[in-house]
Structure 1
């Protein structure tokens, strides 16, 4: 009569071992080199820098909000890739962006600092050079005075709005020691190999002001001296064809070396 129990315990032991083996080791130096990963020895608690009264609150984006974030990225990527934006040439092989839960989980750790500070490293086994955009939106009155979709829209529009200060010179060769107006959020959104993103947000109150802090982690980042995207006939470099919903972007099956 003990055999079924022993067998069940053995199965549970195997499952636990498999789960442990699949849990990423974010303290592995191979992920970040000499930098410390945001998730290394991080139990997910709010940082000591966060206000305590009232307590901060995490925002885990639901399906509709995740779709909104992706659409806002892909619509804008499609426009620039199609050559429909003044100053910008079309892109020959720009990815369609998709959601990645692990990137979103790591973004949630960033916003729990209650500070608009980039973390030193949030790479994953899949995305070894992950990029990051942060946005802070402050407003007075009741927290419910703005909806999550409205705050997402405001945040992403702030990032993309930097396009007015960028140019094809920057797109063709990402600069080092850039001293002009901010362009990094826009160029992260326009990076051709950004196949995935994952985002999170938090609310906290400081000096009577509501603060909505949003972080998006991306598959990759821009490299100094390299193009943000390769210019050319839109979609002409897509090996799998173009996305029927976003004809300036490659299909989601397109593989990139990120």
Structure 2
């Protein structure tokens, strides 16, 4: 089995503002101030022919969406309440205003435009009007023989992203590094970004020679922003203006209005 997780690092803080008139015209260059093309500009509506005849896009039904959102929020809650440590045993600080992550159909549709290409790699632009600084985590598994279920695979991918908590530290939480060359941390920081309010994902299964391949793409409302906090530390939920989430301790209620912009 071959397993390839990857991470996406912002090279510079984005500063462009977006016009509300762009709507869903993903070919409008205003959506991609750092350069395009936008992955959903004339994007694929089904797996590409190069994916092969056996390619299958997994439907993101309610149970799949709930699994992804629930796991993200349980991991966010663990960090927000100060119960997650790094590899040296140092606890990460509590988060004073970490949003409860919710599903976003538009982000999921744009993630699908990437996954349907069956080419492992980050797209250059995935922004929307609501989320002009969208982030992305990707992962791929190649295997022969017995497959694991799609649900188990997605859970494995998300937990593997989060496992980068062991190599990150509190300094990275206080300010995302601008010149970092160590082990991957960007999947973890993406998952626990306090201003990330929405997520949308896609999974495509296809064959590549003798290998079965499962390619998973998740897009987020806000990417890792260089020299900005991943989350603001403080007593858990202390800055939430609409109260705390009873299901996910330490996170703000789903009514909390948090801007997904720098």
Normalising by structure 2, we get a TM-score of 0.85
Contact 1:58/1:202 (8 A) holds in 2: yes
Structure 1: give runs of 5+ residues left out of the alignment: 1-20
Cα deviation for residue 244 of structure 1 reads 0.9
Q: Give 3-state SS (helix, strand or coil) of 1:102's partner.
A: helix
Aligned to 1:221: 223
Aligned to 2:66: 67
- Greater shift, 173-182 or 36-45, is seen at 36-45
2: CA distance, partners of 1:228 / 1:242: 20
Aligned to 1:102: 106
Structure 2: give runs of 5+ residues left out of the alignment: 1-20
Aligned to 1:4: none
Contact 2:103/2:199 (8 A) holds in 1: yes
1:118-133 matched pairs, under 5 angstroms: 118-133=122-137
Contact 2:22/2:30 (8 A) holds in 1: no
1:27-66 matched pairs, under 5 angstroms: 27-33=27-33, 34-47=35-48, 50-52=50-52, 54-66=53-65
User: Could you say if the C-alpha distance between residues 208 and 41 of structure 1 is closer, same or farther in structure 2, counting changes exceeding 3 Å?
Assistant: same
1: CA distance, partners of 2:63 / 2:46: 26
Cα deviation for residue 46 of structure 1 reads 3.5
1: CA distance, partners of 2:174 / 2:23: 39
Cα deviation for residue 106 of structure 1 reads 0.5
Q: Look at both structures and tell me which one has the larger radius of gyration over its CA atoms.
A: 1
4+ runs deviating over 3 angstroms: 45-48
Q: Give 3-state SS (helix, strand or coil) of 1:239's partner.
A: coil
Cα deviation for residue 229 of structure 1 reads 0.3
Q: Give 3-state SS (helix, strand or coil) of 1:75's partner.
A: helix
Q: Over aligned residues, Cα RMSD in angstroms?
A: 1.6
Aligned to 1:201: 203
Cα deviation for residue 43 of structure 1 reads 4.1
Normalising by structure 1, we get a TM-score of 0.86
Cα deviation for residue 51 of structure 1 reads 3.9
Q: Deviations over 1:20-77 (max 9, x none)?
A: x9971111111112321111122425446x342x532111221111101011100000
Q: Deviations over 1:188-226 (max 9, x none)?
A: 001001111000110011232211110010011111111
1:1-258 matched pairs, under 5 angstroms: 24-33=24-33, 34-47=35-48, 50-52=50-52, 54-86=53-85, 87=90, 88-142=92-146, 145-258=147-260
Paired residue total: 234
